Amino acid sequence: MPDNRAARSAEHRGLRKAVRVTLLLGLLLLSAGWWQKSQLPGPASLSPALLAEPLQETVHEASFKTLVDGVQYTIHPRDTYDITGLVVSLHDADTWWDTAHKEWDDHLNLVDLCVVWGENARSGIYRAVHFSNTQWTCHMSAADGSDWQHFNVAQASNNHMITDKPEIGRLLRRIHVGDQVRVRGYLVDYTTYRDGRPFAQRTTSESRTDQDCEVIYVTSVQTLGTAGTAARFAYAAGAVLLVLGALGWLLLPAPPVD
């Protein structure tokens, strides 16, 4: 009997140690992944395509109607648009705290991509600038005034990506901070209808020198380079291990009674 109790005690200590190791490893991986998954790549790893300015040409095409999730929209093309940039921040309209898109019945604007290109990409100055997205805006700031003076705001933009094509939507939602992307389509204005009447309208910028955002009806998305893949894997693995460790702790049998 004493041998059996000793064996059960040893088994319980082993299980408890395994659970603790799982929790610790999960916490370490989650923390490391969270810290690194949004780190931006250095300029040496960027594609030369990021040095080019966006291509834009005025078009005279008729507006067209589309229906997404039961909501009607009219889209008015203004320019063809072709932009290649490094994604420095983004916003997914489906995130739980985004109330504006829901209130506007906006099912076209799936994501916003804040990107930099040109001299900003070549010099690497973007690594000294802080970027963050809210529901409609990309905010940019630098702790050092000298860094901000070297950052060209005309070679950075927040782009409202709209589509009525599910396959384009899936590609847009696979984009992460640190990715290098090429997006082609049209700069557009669009109107949302409610009960058959115009309800809300979004208007695109046509200039990189103003403070307004570009609204892009996306026809093509291409990823030229990715970053942070290992960190995102570590983050996901850490989350899984934490869940497994927590379940293991809850299901851990009581220690044997002497």
Indicate whether 11 belongs to any domain: yes
Q: Does one domain contain both 177 and 90? A: yes
pLDDT at 248 (0 to 100): 72
- Residue 257 belongs to a domain: no
**pLDDT given for residue 32 in this prediction:** 66
Residues 76 and 181 in one domain: yes
Report pLDDT for 251: 75
Cα(253)–Cα(45) distance, integer angstroms: 51
Q: Are residues 146 and 197 in the same domain?
A: yes
Residues 236 and 191 both lie in one domain: no
Find the radius of gyration of the CA atoms of the chain. 24
Query: Same structural domain for residues 50 and 103?
Result: yes
Q: Which two tokens stand for residue 174?
A: 């696979």
Q: What is the mean pLDDT of each run of 10 residues along the chain (258 residues)?
A: 66 74 71 67 95 97 97 98 98 94 96 98 96 96 94 97 98 96 98 95 95 96 84 68 76 70
Residues 17 and 110 in one domain: no
pTM of the predicted protein model: 0.82
Based on the domain organization, do 13 and 110 belong to the same domain?
A: no
23 with 73, same domain? no
Q: Which amino acid is at 127?
A: R
**Does 209 reside within a domain?**
yes
Q: Are residues 118 and 53 in the same domain?
A: yes
**Using CA atoms, how far apart are residues 208 and 106, in angstroms rounded to an integer?**
24
Please tell me the distance from the alpha carbon of residue 110 to that of residue 82, in angstroms, as a whole number. 19
In a domain, residue 258? The reply is: no
Cα–Cα distance for residue pair 219/163, rounded to 1 Å: 8
Residues 196 and 223 in one domain: yes
| Residue 201 in domain | yes
- Whether residue 256 lies inside any domain: the answer is no
What is the domain count for the chain?
2
Task: Give me the domain span that covers residue 239.
Answer: 2-37+232-251
Q: Under DSSP, is residue 170 helix (H, G, I), strand (E, B) or coil?
A: helix
Please tell me the distance from the alpha carbon of residue 208 to that of residue 109, in angstroms, as a whole number.
Answer: 20
Structure tokens at 183: 């997006």
Q: What is the pairing mode between strands 180-194 and 197-202?
A: antiparallel
Residues 110 and 185 both lie in one domain = yes
Confidence at residue 239, expressed as pLDDT on a 0 to 100 scale: 78
Same domain for 157 and 191, yes or no, is yes
- Which residue from 68, 46, 25, 89 is spatially nearest to 193, judged by alpha carbons? 68
Find the angle CA(246)-CA(239)-CA(136) to the nearest 5 degrees: 130
